[in-house]
Each structure stands twice: as C-alpha cells, then as structure tokens.
Amino acid sequence: MIGPGVPVEPGREARDLIDRHARLAATAQGILDHLDGAVVAVAAWVHDDERRRAREELAHVDTDRLGEMTDRNLRLAAVQAAGYLTAADLIDVQPATLAAFPGVGETTARGVVAAVGQLSDAALALHPLRIGLDRAGLPTPDGADRLLALLHRIMRLRPLVEPHRTLLADYASTVTAALPAARRARHAARLWFARPTTRKATAGALASLQQWDASGVAGRLPQTLDDLTGAIAQPDPDVFELAADYEQRSAEYYTTLVGIVPQAQTALAARGLLPQDLVDRVNDRPLDLGAMRVALRGYQEFGARFALNQGRCLIGDEMGLGKTIQALAVMSDLVAAGQTRFLVVCPASLLANWAREVEARTTLTAHRLHGDGRDEAIKAWAAGGGVGLTTFETLTHVPTDGSVGEVGLVVVDEAHYVKNPRTRRAKAVATWAGLVWRVLFLTGTPMDNRLEDFLALVKVLQPDLGAQLPRHLGLLGPDAFRQVVAPVYLRRNQVDVLVELPDVIATDDWVDLTEADERAYREAVASGNLMAMRQAAWVAGSGGASACAKLDRLVAIVTEAREEGRSTVVFSYFRDVLDTVMAALAAPGVSVHGPLTGDVPVADRMALVDAFTADDAGAVLVAQVAVGGTGLNLQAASVVVLCEPQLTPAAEAQAVARLHRMGQVRTVRAHRLLAEDGVDERIVELLAGKQEVFDDYVRRSSVAAAAVSAVDVTEAGLARDVVAWEQARLGYGPVWDGLGDEEAGRPPRDCTRSR
C-alpha cells in the first residue's frame, strides 16, 4: 500500500489502488442494496396484497351500485356494456380509458374512478393485512411465507448493517465518483498524452482514494465487508422454521412491517381521541429512546410523549397494547435528561415480569425492593440508580426521607388496586405521588363498578383537576366527561391500533346441569352462600366428566383445541374447581401445567408460564383468574376457557387479554361455561349493565349520553340480589317464606332493582 502523502504513479500502482477500492466499493454498495432491496420487496408485497384484498371485496359490488356513492347521474349501463361488470374490474382503470367507450363520457369516467378509489380505501381499512397461521401451522394468506422471509432477513441484518450504513454509503459514493477520473491512470502512456486539466483531475481522484487509506478505514473495511457478506449469504429459514419464529416474535415482525409500510391506523385512534391542541403539544415533545433495546409502535411513542408532556397521567390502554413498554420509554427519555432512579409499584405477581421487561427491553438495571435482600437492594438502587421494583404491600418500606436520592418517575401498574383512597396501599401510593413530580398510572381497567373509582385515580394524579370536577360529572354524558379528563387520561383500544391482531370469537357455552350438579346447586342455594352457588356446577366433577355438565364441555373444548394444534388456558376463581380440572385433564398425551394460583411463589410463577409457553402445541395451563388473568403474557395459547362468569367485566376482559394481545397470530377462541337457570344466568345479566357504563365513559369517546347512578352495582349488592333471587326461585329461605301463594315462583320486588 502506498504511504500517505506520496503521489500514486500511473500504471501498476494506480491499477492496484483503483481495483482494490473499486472492489470494496462495489461490495459496500451491494450490502446496502441487499438490505434496501428487501425493504423495497416488502413494500411491493404489501402493495400487491392490498390489490388482492381490494379486488376480493370489490368483486361483490356490481358496477351499477357505484351511482349510490355520488350525486352525479353516471352512465353506468354504458360502463357495464364496455365489460366492467363489478367494481373489481375497474381497479387501476384510468378515466381516459373509460371515457373512450361509447356512451360513457368524461364525467361518468371520472365519477366511476373516484367511487372505485373510495371503495378500495374503505375495503382496505375494514380488512387490514393480517398474517395468520392455518391449521397446519403455515402462514396465511398465500405467499405470506415470502413476506415473513423478507422481514426475518431485515430483522436479522439491520442490527449488523445499520451501525456501518453511514460509512458504507459515504465510502461507496465517494469512491464511485472518483473512479472514472482515476481509471485514466491505469495506463501511464495514455495519461502522459492527456490534457493538463485531465491529468490534474486524475491526480485528484487518485488522492481521494489515497485519503481513505490514510484514514485507516480502508484497512479495517475488508474484514467488516467480509463479515456482512457472510451474514447476507446465510439462507433464510424454511417455511416451518419461519412460522415457528413468527408465532414467537410476531410483535417484532409487525413493528418492522409497520416501519416500512404504515398500516391503516388513523391518527385519532393512536392519539386516543384527544383534543387537537393537546395532540399538537404531545407530538412536538421530543422522545429519546437511547436506553431502549427494542423499537416502539407509533401509538406507543405517542403514549410515552403524552406521559412526558403531562407529567402526571393515567394510560388506560386496553390490555395487550404494551403499557409497560411505554413506561420504559418514558424512563429512557428521562435517562437522557440526567435522571437515574425510577420506582415501579405493582402487584407481587408482576414483579418478575417487570424485572424481565426492564432487563430485556432497556439498558437499565432492575432492583427488586421486595422479599429477602430488600434492604440490600434498596441500597444498590440508591447508590447505582436503575428501576426499583416493589409491591403495594412493601412500598411502605421504601424510604421516603430522601435517603435514596431523587426519583425521576413513579410508575403504578394495575393502578385500579388503589382506587379506594382509604386503604393502606392507596395512602402509600398517594405519599409517593406527593414526593415525586412525574407519576404514571397504568391500568386497562380504570373502572370496575363505579365512575367514582376512575375519578379517585384522577384526584391522586392531579388534585387541582380533581377538585374542579363537577360532583355529578357522569350526568354530563361521555363526550363531556372525556373532554374534562383529557389532560390526565389516554386510552387506545386494540381494534383501533393493532390492526394486525386476529379476532376474538367469544362463545357462551350454556349447559344443562346433570342430576348430580342440580343436587349440589340446590344445597348451595339453601345455604345462602354465593361462592358455593358459583362453584356448585363443578362439585360432581369428582365422579368424572359424565357426571358434570361443565366438565364434560371443558374436556370437549380442550380435546378439539389439541387436535387443531392449539394450546388452552383454563381460568377459574376457585381453587377446588382448578383441582377438579387438573384431575380430569390428566391423561396420556395431554400436557397440563399448573395450577397457577396465589399459593405459587411469585418467583416460580414465571417459570411455570415459561414451561407452558415452551411446550408443544396442545398444552393446557390451569390458573386462577386473579393470578393468571393479570400481568402475564399467554399468547402461546389461542383458546381460553372461563369456568364460571366473574363478578366484574374487567376480570373476564383481562383474562382473555392475556392471550389476545400483541404477539398473538391466531384467532382467539374464548369460551365461558354457563349453567342455565341459575346463578350464572343472574350474574351475566347484572354484568351487562356494568359493561355498558365502562364502554360509555372510559372505553369510547362519544356515544349517547347516559347517567351512571342507576347502575352502581357493587359486589356486595350483587351477592345479596343473586342469592335472594335464587332462593325465591327454588323455594328456600326467608324471602320465600314471606311470599304469598299467589306470588310463588316470582322474585321479590327488591331483588329486581339491579337487573
């Protein structure tokens, strides 16, 4: 290699220099072209798939119906006479082409093309791209394996290539620009007879190549290019390996895809239907993700910006949308601003999950300020910073005297646990909320029974706003409610922002009680014990599935799921029911995990879930709804069974959302086992009223105005009403004794008030 500053002699020296850099530059450009070509191929695939989906939908629309989309008098008979029988036939047809047919005309041509364009847009919005797995475990729709292969290649190569992109691009462009003039020096005789200006340009081009050698880059570049070329040469996984990887990492695939080809996600959905002036301020707020190891979805970045801009707020996104990731993104930004210490308060069952998320998703260190070694962990957190993790019960042991140093953010996960300000846990959270300026509440269910539960959380976050809220805010209607709480509350729903998420097929499986079931149920009703009534339908399960109607249906559901290669999660509130299920499902060839209950140590719960996730398709996890229904990611399963209706809609929604969340690639089948003419039927009726209030005020942004005072159904009131109703129906208890013969069989008046 020629020393720096020494001019290159035309001829052999020049040829060696030119050929070496030309070869390296071509390789560098080829690496970038390969990765960028995969990105272009993804965009092309999506474009072709959009055309396919649009054609499938528009094939059902006859051309003569296009007139319904415009007030113009279109000559659609002439369009049909030209051979365009459906709207699908008109996709990509230009107005000039249509206008050339007899009787069509320019006005009709333009109107038809505009109508077809609007229909195509609507069809794509209603039927977004979804990559699923068929019963054989292969990607759908047809050709999706090609898309997954491209995305897998991009995900594999980007971390390797992107750190070198600027260098490779600069090197390839400058060398390529210098080569035409430099090549004149390959033959000394020819250059000798060239014009002086030509010789000067050639000398400058050679000097440009030499500068790369002098900088040392050219010396290191060959090894870098060899490593990247070797990575590119690795073959893509076969279709079965791709499908398995996609099922495990579908969220990463979709994040990569959306980064290349934004899907049909409206700005309003991602922004939670906030007022425009607030949206503008949030969008303008910078977000530093330097401490994050993973990419965020667009709506997740907006959520993090919202939290940073507002300072103290509640993110109430529906379960499965990544509230944890948004909280970690807020921490990342605060780290860049100089903050080093953060505190997370959560149920004990979520400590392990938070620790994993911090370590896997960020460069921060997690400290468990809980259990054995708590004092040492607090000292390490205070000295070195990071994310302190504690529970609602042990929060009081975290020093509040400033000895741990400044805390930049307090995150309260499952914040609905502190909705009652009189409880010890709520008071502990309120104390920390008074000490730290930035506070972020996370909950997918900010209201279980009453609107006041939600407002109690608002008052902790922003006391001034809480003091200004009208006493009967609910009477103003949902639109006014959302406008008033917009500064503190952001919620997005899965259907709005996760367009790739498969559907949930919810089924209420009603069964007729067997004779043994009926006997157990009547005994429970006579005792006046609601909990005994709720699990009575399972008492006969010890005698086998034939003796217990619900158990018989459960076995059928699990068997069908296993035959289809689907894993199942079975939830119940009651430990005895879980034991019955475990015993009934224990059979050769059936892999059953659990029961996951409150008795399982927190440290062991994640290991149990990991074992279930790693098991073959068809496995079953049995869990208490209060444990497995919150905080755990169970998207390895796609069938969920609730053994009995729960007492709040939130409990059921959370249980299903453990499966139906980002990362799920199969349609989720949710079964609720219900016995007719009994406690299940009464609870389902009462729950419907609760769900309506939540939808009106907290889930949706604008529906018909409604008051909330008439549907304040507490669990205690529910228990009294259901027990009284069933005792009256079956002829037990003091209610029945007080009825006249003419009223036999009808519920007492005060038992119907909550229906």
Confidence category of residue 751, pLDDT binned at 50, 70, 90:
very low
Average pLDDT, integer, range 581-589? 84
pLDDT tens by residue, 345-378? 998 867 877 888 898 889 999 999 988 889 999 9
As annotated, the residues of the chain forming the CATH 3.40.50.10810 domain(s) are 266-497
Q: Does residue 133 carry a pLDDT above 80?
A: yes
- In the chain, pLDDT over 90 holds for what percent of residues? 23
Average pLDDT, integer, range 123-146? 79
Farthest-apart Cα atoms in the chain, separation: 125
pLDDT tens by residue, 387-422? 999 999 999 999 998 899 999 999 999 888 888 888
Measured distance CA(544)–CA(431) in Å, rounded: 53
pLDDT tens by residue, 67-101? 766 656 778 888 888 888 888 888 888 888 888 89
Q: Does residue 469 carry a pLDDT above 70?
A: no
Among residues 462, 165, 191, 189, the alpha carbon closest in space to that of 314 is found at 462
Q: Using CB atoms within 10 A of its CB, is residue 558 exposed (0-12), middle (13-18) or buried (19+)?
A: buried
Average the pLDDT over each of 456-460, 664-668, 742-746 and give the range with the smallest value: 742-746
C-beta of residue 742 within 8 angstroms of C-beta of residue 729: no
> Strands 312-315, 132-133: parallel, antiparallel or unpaired by DSSP?
unpaired
Q: What is the DSSP letter of 547?
A: G
As annotated, the residues of the chain forming the CATH 1.10.150 domain(s) are 52-133
Measured distance CA(684)–CA(31) in Å, rounded: 60
Q: What is the homologous superfamily of the domain 504-675 according to CATH?
A: P-loop containing nucleotide triphosphate hydrolases (3.40.50.300)
**Structure token pair of residue 368:** 């468990």
Structure confidence at residue 416 (pLDDT): 86
Structure confidence at residue 712 (pLDDT): 30
C-beta of residue 476 within 8 angstroms of C-beta of residue 702: no
Q: Does residue 749 carry a pLDDT above 60?
A: no
Q: Does residue 152 carry a pLDDT above 80?
A: yes
Among residues 351, 366, 249, the alpha carbon closest in space to that of 605 is found at 351
pLDDT tens by residue, 240-268? 999 988 888 887 888 788 778 764 344 34
Structure confidence at residue 483 (pLDDT): 66
Measured distance CA(194)–CA(182) in Å, rounded: 13
Average pLDDT, integer, range 299-315? 88
Structure confidence at residue 388 (pLDDT): 96
pLDDT tens by residue, 216-234? 777 788 899 999 999 999 9
- Mean pLDDT, the chain, whole residue set: 80
Which range has the top average pLDDT, 78-92, 115-129, 183-197, 364-378? 364-378
Contacts of 729 (CB under 8 A, 6+ apart): 745, 747
Confidence category of residue 748, pLDDT binned at 50, 70, 90:
very low
C-beta of residue 597 within 8 angstroms of C-beta of residue 624: yes
Average the pLDDT over each of 164-173, 405-414, 574-583, 729-738 and give the range with the smallest value: 729-738
Structure confidence at residue 424 (pLDDT): 92
Average pLDDT, integer, range 266-290? 68
Structure confidence at residue 632 (pLDDT): 66
Confidence category of residue 705, pLDDT binned at 50, 70, 90:
very low
Q: What type of residue sits at position 342?
A: F
Average the pLDDT over each of 33-37, 412-416, 426-430, 729-733 and give the range with the smallest value: 729-733
Structure confidence at residue 214 (pLDDT): 81
Average pLDDT, integer, range 282-298? 87
pLDDT tens by residue, 205-220? 888 888 888 877 777 8
How would you label 653-690 residue by residue, b for 16+ Cβ within 10 Å and e otherwise? Answer: bbbbbbbbbbbbbbbbbbbbbbbeebbbbbbeebbeeb
Average the pLDDT over each of 14-18, 123-127, 255-259, 705-709 and give the range with the smallest value: 705-709
pLDDT tens by residue, 487-532? 788 887 766 666 666 777 777 887 778 888 888 888 888 888 888 8
pLDDT tens by residue, 433-454? 999 999 999 987 766 556 677 7
The correct answer on CATH 1.10.150 for the domain covering 52-133 is: yes
Structure confidence at residue 137 (pLDDT): 81
Among residues 426, 439, 187, 424, the alpha carbon closest in space to that of 312 is found at 439
Q: Does residue 5 carry a pLDDT above 50?
A: yes
Q: Does residue 118 carry a pLDDT above 90?
A: no
Structure confidence at residue 713 (pLDDT): 34
What is 266-497's CATH number, 3.40.50.10810, 2.40.40.20, 3.40.47.10, 1.20.120.530? 3.40.50.10810
pLDDT tens by residue, 614-639? 888 889 999 998 776 555 678 888 89
Measured distance CA(509)–CA(676) in Å, rounded: 10
**Structure token pair of residue 260:** 């290349």
What count of other Cβ atoms lies within 10 Å of the Cβ of residue 613?
17
